[in-house]
Amino acid sequence: MPSIFAYQSSEVDWCESNFQHWELVAEFYNTFSNVTFFIFGPLMMFLMHPYVQKCSRYIYVTFILFTVVGLFSMYFHMTLSFLGQMLDEIAILWLLASGYSIWMPRCYFPAFLGENRPQYICLVITATVVSTFLSFLTPMINAYALNSIALHVVYVVAQEYKKTSNKELRRLIEVTMVSWAFAFTSWISDRWLCSFWQWINFSYLHSIWHVLISIPFPYGTVIMAMVDATYEMPDKTLKVCYWPRDTWSMGLPYVEISDDNKSC
């Protein structure tokens, strides 16, 4: 039985040919395409700092986990090891759990919890711990399970799109949904149409997925912050800004909060 640290000990192998560019890196493009995670994670932590200070410092955990996902994904694609696969997938699982715990509107809580957020957070953490252990049973289906959770997030965002008349929020949701759709298409195509992409000598769709899926994170963070403000902070106004220039409506979004009289 191969060591969980060993190269190619994972049953998962993506479409990109292995060890084509560097003998120490199994999938060269899939490895280094994670660079956007190292850029967006710390940058969003800096840009959202005023919001976090007025809301909850636990939000920093989400930004840190996003960066950790990039680190573990890089390690996985570099080695294709079982340990790398599990670290990558478990980090994604906990990233989703942190987002659910912090920003999920109370109206989407299970009925038996009412609108009790502490109990809801306990439920999310319990489910995440159980799922972490279950992920070791059939590792081949982990990625599909994680994408099914993402589909629920898409459903919630779509529901909020129907509810809101805020043009800025609607535009953010539209950009997020389009980027997620392109990212998901890249992931599915790499997984199921690999022979075709290898035939035309273009087996890099999973690396494109890495870049595209990193875009919904900053946009999704701002979306959920605005949605949360609608439900939890009706007396506050959130202004959407963009980095590096506020006039660039396709830059990296972040929010500024007005009204310092009340914290969330």
List, as residue ranges, the binding site for Zn(2+): 77, 206, 210
Beta bridge partners of 241: 254
Q: List residues forming the annotated binding site.
A: 13-14, 16, 18, 27, 77, 206, 210
Q: Where are the beta strands (DSSP E) in 50-147?
A: none
Helices (H) and strands (E) in the chain, counts: 11, 2
Whether residue 153 contacts residue 92, with contact meaning beta carbons closer than 8 Å, is answered with: no
* Rounded CA separation 226/47 (Å): 15
Q: List residues forming the annotated binding site for Ca(2+).
A: 13-14, 16, 18, 27
Whether residue 143 contacts residue 194, with contact meaning beta carbons closer than 8 Å, is answered with: no
Give every CB contact of residue 104 below 8 A, 6+ residues apart in sequence: 120, 156
Using DSSP's 3-state secondary structure scheme, residue 253 falls into strand
Ramachandran category for residue 201: left, alpha or beta (phi over 0 → left; psi -120 to 50 → alpha): left
Task: Give, in order, the Cα–Cα distances in Å from 128 to each of 16, 124, 133.
Answer: 31, 6, 9
